[in-house]
Amino acid sequence: MLPVLLDLRFLKIYTFGIFLVLAFFWACFLVWKLVRLTSHKEEEVFDAIFVSIPIGLIAGRIMYIATHFDKFGFDIWRYILINGYPGLVLYGCVIGFFLGIRAFFAINKVKFSDVIDYLVPPALLALAIGKLGSFFAGVELGTKTTFPIAIKYANADGLRHLTALYEGLLFFLGAFVAYKILFAIRREKYRKGFLFSCFFWYFALVTASFDSLKVSHINLGPVSLNSILSWAILLTLSIYLGYYFRCSIFSRLSGITNLIITHGFINTFRRFHRTAEKKT
């Protein structure tokens, strides 16, 4: 792929960096568009975002250092020099970012559930653009495959899965669906904060689905850290969402059961009627 988009000798412009900048600006634009629909101050929401982004990056870095402590040891400079010793954990960045948002709103006495749903579509959009950057820059290598849809990387042998591209497309889809759900929340079809739960459920689902197709893993023993976190979140939130929709699920199951019973009764009655006609 194309790790360096433009090499000016005195300055290298990296492809992944360009996509990260695009992700930031497009996400901020969508935040601005959505927050304008509310009574909340735009500058207050953007202050929360600008404070929380460094918190997310620090959290992602700390999680990476903790899982690769044998490479870092107690060398503080290695912790700081991310160019020389790169590495972040996406889960740490996401969780740290939203914890920063929650803390900022708590300090400024803003109700978290009133605002957080409006940040979900922009967050998914940023993830989607970032994943596209990973794909075009060749940052996240997929495993070898004989699948017809595959790609050859310059720094790797054999054909590889388009893992980052798949994730990016799914996050774009998630951003679109989240946008629709947000307006359903505004119509009071779902409670406030519902979309935030859906975000983590969907993020965990996408991560768990494609983690096994990636070359690089952050492992805790024999198991991938992303897999552990993803399946734990999926299980927890699936139980929660099942409980949230319990009335709707039970009513639909009841309707299906009644339909089956009614249909079975009608078929039995018809068979009985035909048997009686044959006897007469």
Domain residue ranges of the chain, discontinuous segments joined by + = 251-280
Give the chain's largest Cα–Cα span: 100
Q: How buried is residue 99: exposed, middle or buried, by Cβ count under 10 Å (0-12/13-18/19+)?
A: middle
Tokens of 98: 């939203």
Q: Which pLDDT score, from 0 to 100, does residue 275 have? A: 59
Helix (H, G, I), strand (E, B) or coil at 223: strand
Q: Which pLDDT score, from 0 to 100, does residue 112 have? A: 92
Percent of the chain with pLDDT over 70: 87
Query: Helix axis angle, 194-210 relative to 90-107, nearest 10°?
Result: 170
Give the integer Cα–Cα distance in Å for 172 and 232: 24
Give the integer Cα–Cα distance in Å for 277 and 82: 86
| End-to-end Cα spacing for the chain | 80
Give the integer Cα–Cα distance in Å for 126 and 106: 24
Q: What is the pLDDT of residues 146-202, one digit of tens each?
A: 888 888 877 777 888 889 999 999 999 999 999 999 999 999 888 999 999 999 999
Q: What is the pLDDT of residues 118-157, one digit of tens each?
A: 999 999 999 999 999 988 888 888 888 888 888 887 777 7
Confidence of residue 233 (pLDDT cuts 50, 70, 90): very high
